[in-house]
Amino acid sequence: KWTGLNDLRESYLKFFESKGHLRMASAPLVPQGDNSVLLINAGMTPLKKYFQGIEEPPRHRVTTCQKCIRTPDIDNVGKTARHGTYFEMLGNFSFGDYFKHEATAWAWEYLTKVLEIPEDRLWVTIYEEDDEAGDIWANEVGVPRDRIIKLGKADNFWEHGSGPCGPCSEIHFDRGEKYGPFESFEQAGECDRIIEIWNLVFTQFDNDGKGNYTQLATKNIDTGMGLERLACVMQDVDNLFEVDTIQNIMKKICSVAGVNYHDDPTTDVSIRVITDHIRSTTFMVGDGIRPSNEGRGYVLRRLLRRAARHGRMLGVNRPFLYEICDTVINENLTAYPELDEKREYIKKVIKTEEESFAKTVDKGMQILGEFIKELSADDTRKPILSGENLFKLHDTYGFPIDLTREILQEKNIGIDEERFFELMNEQKAKARSNQAFKGGWDEATANALSGLTTTFVGYKSLTADSKIL
């Protein structure tokens, strides 16, 4: 009975309220007082202070629907059924309160009783050494043993350097024959027939950094379920972007671009990419991030320019993303009414960025085309675009390095990233020593304007960071 994206969000939060949880609002995408991540990437991230015992939580049971950005998933967007750079994560959390018994029982109750998902569509994975979880799923929750898959550390152990960590258990949904045959759990996962919907993390150990694990005195629960994924499953649609409210954004893109969804697989990827990127960028700008050449501002710029490029692939040669923005805002007013007040501001920021890229993109694409022609002619070695040329594309034509890398990857051409960063740092050093230099929308200025604290994130650390975002 619950299938709409907005209804699902509400039903989840209500369900966990009925289990004694305090409903808290989504934190902004910009981490507050936490420099370890560039952008919020999970429901637990803004709650870390409670998990670490740095601050006392308002209640020991909390439930949220958290806005998330995961740029490392960017290459999957539009290609897999289940990845967006933006998504909402539903979560229930226990700070030293309940543990495995309740977390598993409630997850199952919500999926099979509230949402009435047939039990035989669900699979459960556990960490191979977590017999306790296996026994609870089998004996208490009643999941057949052959539906409980044991996996190794890479898949089912949550750990981030030293500190609190623990095994996790994930719930997967089988979307059925139309997505492919079922040969094995792994194979069915590769074709998105089976998709992961919910991760339950059992934070029970402390890792001293040398691989010694001791049981924590207070054990925590951290769960995360993608709202769009859940909606995708409940609505029985092919992918995240065909979910009710998100589909309306796709429709708007198609009408602006004069293309039809389902006419051509390549066009469809571009439509989904734009749909995703306009969602992430609308929320990022709404949360005070502005396009720039570093840190979060760079992530935003990269997403906007990538979306603009896909727009051009659909034949749209003028700024258009700012128009799609209206649909994103309208479709999100139920959960994020504050977007309405920021509407004109968000549109202006996006339009300005589109206009500035539009000035140079055609010339940049032409120059890049010439580089590609030259490099492809050289068959003596694997072609590599030089750091100097990467820098020129970046500096003169506004091509974020990731965009250039991506376009070249399609042509099997590598890039000299190291030299590029050297040149970037040289330029930065020059700018810093030049008193007359008054930067435009750099991260520090943007953050000062929006009242956020800032730490300098260099290009090197951005590249390293973006892998763990």
- Residue count of the chain, please give it: 469
Least separation, in Å, of the C-beta of 196 and Mg ion? 5
Alpha-carbon span 290 to 443, nearest angstrom:
8
Q: Which residues within the stretch 324-353 sit at the binding site for ligand ATP (CB under 6 A)? A: none
Binding flag, residue 302, ligand ATP (CB under 6 A): no
Q: Kindly indicate which of the ranges 83-91, 346-354, 391-399, 442-450 contains the residues binding ligand ATP, using the contact rule CB under 6 A.
A: 83-91
Alpha-carbon span 192 to 297, nearest angstrom:
32
Q: Among residues 13, 44, 65, 89, which is the contact residue for ligand ATP, using CB under 6 A?
A: 89
Binding flag, residue 229, ligand ATP (CB under 6 A): yes
Q: Which residue is nearest to Mg ion (CB)?
A: 199
C-beta separation of 147 from 123 below 8 A: yes
Alpha-carbon span 301 to 152, nearest angstrom:
37
Q: What would you report as the CA-atom Rg of the chain, rounded to the nearest whole angstrom?
A: 23
3-class DSSP assignment, residue 400: coil
Q: Name which of 163, 166, 112, 162 is nearest 137 in CA terms.
A: 112
Alpha-carbon span 385 to 399, nearest angstrom:
14
Residue for token pair 């500190």:
163
- CB nearer ligand ATP, residue 170 or residue 268: 170
Q: Among residues 197, 274, 335, 407, which is the contact residue for ligand ATP, using CB under 6 A?
A: 197
Q: Which does 224 bind (CB under 5 to 8 A by kind): Mg ion, ligand ATP, none?
A: ligand ATP
- CB nearer Mg ion, residue 48 or residue 309: 48
Residue for token pair 């998902």:
117
Q: Which does 225 bind (CB under 5 to 8 A by kind): Mg ion, ligand ATP, none?
A: ligand ATP
Q: Name which of 415, 400, 412, 325 is nearest 361 in CA terms.
A: 400
Q: Among residues 82, 296, 347, 394, which is the contact residue for ligand ATP, using CB under 6 A?
A: 82
Count of chain residues binding ligand ATP (CB under 6 A): 16
Binding flag, residue 283, ligand ATP (CB under 6 A): no
| CA distances to 40, 71, 72, 325, 458 from 467, in Å | 14, 8, 6, 28, 15
Least separation, in Å, of the C-beta of 89 and ligand ATP? 5
**Chain-centre distance of CA 58, in angstroms?**
27
Q: Among residues 16, 87, 108, 123, which is the contact residue for ligand ATP, using CB under 6 A?
A: 87
Residue for token pair 């429709």:
251
Binding flag, residue 225, ligand ATP (CB under 6 A): yes
Least separation, in Å, of the C-beta of 155 and ligand ATP? 8
Binding flag, residue 226, ligand ATP (CB under 6 A): yes
**Sites of contact with Mg ion (CB under 5 A):** 196, 199
Binding flag, residue 199, ligand ATP (CB under 6 A): yes
Least separation, in Å, of the C-beta of 82 and ligand ATP? 5
Structure tokens at 418: 């190291």
Q: Among residues 48, 83, 100, 306, which is the contact residue for ligand ATP, using CB under 6 A?
A: 83
Q: Phi/psi class of residue 78: alpha, beta or left (left: φ > 0; alpha: ψ in -120 to 50)?
A: left
Alpha-carbon span 212 to 183, nearest angstrom:
38
Q: Which does 172 bind (CB under 5 to 8 A by kind): ligand ATP, Mg ion, none?
A: none
Long-range own/partner contacts, residues 420-427 (CB < 8 A, 24 or more apart): 420/387, 420/390, 420/391, 420/394, 421/387, 421/459, 421/460, 421/463, 422/387, 423/387, 423/388, 423/391, 424/391, 424/394, 424/459, 425/458, 425/459, 427/395
Q: Which residues within the stretch 403-462 sit at the binding site for ligand ATP (CB under 6 A)? A: none
Binding flag, residue 466, ligand ATP (CB under 6 A): no
- CB nearer ligand ATP, residue 69 or residue 375: 69
C-beta separation of 47 from 56 below 8 A: no
Least separation, in Å, of the C-beta of 52 and ligand ATP? 19
Q: Which residues within the stretch 34-73 sit at the binding site for ligand ATP (CB under 6 A)? A: 70, 73
Least separation, in Å, of the C-beta of 155 and Mg ion? 7
Q: Which does 465 bind (CB under 5 to 8 A by kind): ligand ATP, Mg ion, none?
A: none
Binding-site ranges for ligand ATP (CB under 6 A):
70, 73, 82-84, 87, 89, 196-199, 224-226, 228-229
